[in-house]
Amino acid sequence: MGQPWLFDCEEAAPRVKPFKSQLLKWVGNKQRFAHEIASYFPEGFGTYHEPFLGSGAVLATLAPKKALASDVFPPLVEIWQTLKKSPATLKRWYAERWKAATNGDKQDGYERIKASYNGKPNGADLLFLCRACYGGVVRFRQADGYMSTPCGVHNPIPPESFAQRVDDWHRRTSGTSFALMDYDEAMSRAKAGDMVYCDPPYTHSQTILYGAQSFDLEHPLP
């Protein structure tokens, strides 16, 4: 039996090819359905805007010629900007932490990296943590942003496999600019003929996410 369409509509079978090479594990990741989502976009548009970037699944699946992708979480945006400017650095970040976590007791190594992140939140540590944490569910304590997810039971993918994914994602996002900004500012930059895709946090079920505690769907745009 085939996969039911994401939207209750018989008109559009996916016309965008699936892209299953996930870079980041993330709550609400749309990698599995990204090609279906993108198939409902207009076939022609100017700049693609994604103001709630998260894992970037739809962005990379669509691979637009020109895009502005943004988020409000500095460590996450640091990952995306490094993918753009220096993919070799992203590979090194992951390889260093993978070796530190797998050279001995995996859980102890993971906890050291988590402590490093919580001491000073940064993209390098978050990159490994989101791939190695339990279920890929990166939890943040509301009071102080403390990342609390324990080590996952799985073995994180080896650096060689991750490096291939970095290369794939670097190519597919070559036309994208990554920015640290709030969604209202990001959406205000869209012009006539542009495409805006919004996937905001689910405030009823994702309060463990950065920004979800204060996100308000009724917030007016400028």
Q: Where are the beta strands (DSSP E) in 75-222?
A: 176-180, 195-196
Whether the predicted pLDDT of 205 surpasses 50: no
- Its pTM stands at 0.87
pLDDT tens for each residue of 92-128 = 999 999 999 988 889 999 999 999 999 999 999 999 9
Structural contact between residues 41 and 197, judged by C-beta atoms closer than 8 angstroms:
yes
Question: Is pLDDT larger for residue 173 or for residue 182?
Answer: 173
Structural contact between residues 67 and 194, judged by C-beta atoms closer than 8 angstroms:
no
Residue 190, number of CB atoms within 10 A of its CB: 16
pLDDT tens for each residue of 34-87 = 999 999 999 999 999 999 999 999 999 999 999 999 999 999 999 999 999 999
**Residue 200 and residue 186: Cα distance in Å, rounded?**
13
The rounded mean pLDDT for the chain is: 87
Residue 16: Cβ-neighbour burial (10 angstroms; 0-12, 13-18, 19+): middle
Spatial CA neighbour of 9 closest among 44, 48, 39, 45: 39
CATH class of 46-196: mainly alpha
**What tokens were used for 177?**
């600019």
pLDDT recorded at residue 210: 53
**Residue 162 and residue 94: Cα distance in Å, rounded?**
8
Confidence of residue 26 (pLDDT cuts 50, 70, 90): confident
Whether the predicted pLDDT of 134 surpasses 50: yes
